[in-house]
Structure 1
């Protein structure tokens, strides 16, 4: 009998499993080996400190972000008093899984099939990768951390099958030396409808490699062609391709994360990826942590209603940020004219400073009310067309 079975071993599931094991719970983690999620790999200093990530997992520390508009205007934003860390998901996720295992979690490799209930017991049934056998793990509670198209959420949580998402695709390439178009210390974010009609493209350095990709929710877009065009525009078309990956990225937290009986969701399964930026690793790990907190509370108190703590704790800290980013995406990602205006707005020094202070610390900065007021006025001027998008 396990106290908790965690389905999924990405950053969210591995964090939940580790936290539960360290708190004295008997926990199992089921993960599909060999799957690497397409991801730019950006992590803020707040994640590194909160989750005790060793420096050898940070493959690059980025000090500049370049915003590129549909007319190819470039705005370089220096990252002052900090950096954007980069991780390689192939190695980072496995590091987290091994750390959970070292903390005491039992690790299984296989594919989740279903939850079985009867005679007062609950079992998580999965197909073991090595043997092909169906194995059932008896448990008190379940954490579903199995991604944006979560089988656990669809089968067990009301509304879990209605999560909105974009499809992300990227190619990991062998990084070139510094060139006119590529800098190993700079992230490029491309806001161009020719690359993505409703999201963005990216070139993110990973030390000896780089992630080049894009995302979209628009059906019929050829993601591989768009990425090929992005590589060409970035002078990276001749670089060796190491691997290619695609997967959905959710855009909105679900209204409900638990089934009122024995399951709580975490990470992409709960929809906790930031709108506008698509940032997910930090929020996934926070989601895993609050799911573990809620599960521990329910096991201690005997109140299943305590599973609702996961969503309450997460939204208490991050609801406002998600709301602001969602509004920004709705306002600026709908056309190339709006994207041009957004990049123009990024010239503002206050926008630059407040954006990266919020990114690194994971909270909105309230210390400079006049800066917020000035940004609000400029934002309104751009959205109403009072200011030309071509002004710097």
Structure 2
């Protein structure tokens, strides 16, 4: 492909220089996402159910309620931590939250023995603290820094950043299972808490926002200040609510399908080992979806990318409605479901920066993260209720197929990216912060 004649040499040099300048920050961000409060709780909760039921006699629902409690609290607080990242800088918020997440996660190991009811309430309380403290260690903060370092390669950089959740899915479950088998579930919480502490050590030396002279010129005004609208103005923009509704549709349709996929496959005659292989293929789909979607967003308008990719899980739902499923079809369903999940994660961060700017990115991203977190928390319950009432996942799968298509189609209504963005009224430049790298 011949080079674009409209691109100047300085523009080409700036594009190539983004990774040269920002790779250390991106590396620290990948580790921060991988070891933060976004993936780790979801990757260990399933392995605690058996030990908790054995020790305390809790029901299946009682043992998994903490993940919903955590998800709801974290989603509601996402805009608060986003505001803190805008106001005080992303570095102190991300690092302090990563430390607090490690300590609060380790504290679950202190759940007392004895009275099962008392232990249950304490266990729930400790998980609530994780939600209160850990949200600053999720992409709500890390993605702000990446958006400040990258513009020409922003989609790809965000895709690489969010690979942290895929890496967590590959590493954390095995580590957790080995510790549980050797030392018990309490030791597992203490051991897994070492992961965010390790990420914190790396981020302390590598992770920071760019200085004004290091920022891409496209995200600044002529005076050198970040451009973007306020949260209030964003919430009066129809595009904000289109994105919000799209995220809500996709997250609510996806979460339950992901959690219940092994059960759906079992009902279609797929054995447990084959279902486990399909879940591994789903993880590969997430990995591929993040990288490929990010690269495509850097080259094409988001609607041309988002609509077809977010319709992929509709094809998965159609496959899962079949009376029987062969392994190739099951693998295809898993891969397409995972690919779309990876695409959606990229889109939330990318669309926030492109349509609303960086001046108040954290606040706006936090509000757009809310339907993702709430939908993901509610979706497994919706799928479970549908199965309990009908004995089949087919009714909710049909609704999910429609939700996937509607969620993707909504993004076609966003229109072109803004060519210019104003300096936000009352924009707060991040205050000088501590925890500076050596």
TM-score of the aligned structures, taking structure 1 as reference length: 0.27
Which has more strand, going by share of residues?
Answer: 1
User: Quick one: higher RCO (CA 8 Å, sep 6+), 1 or 2?
Assistant: 2
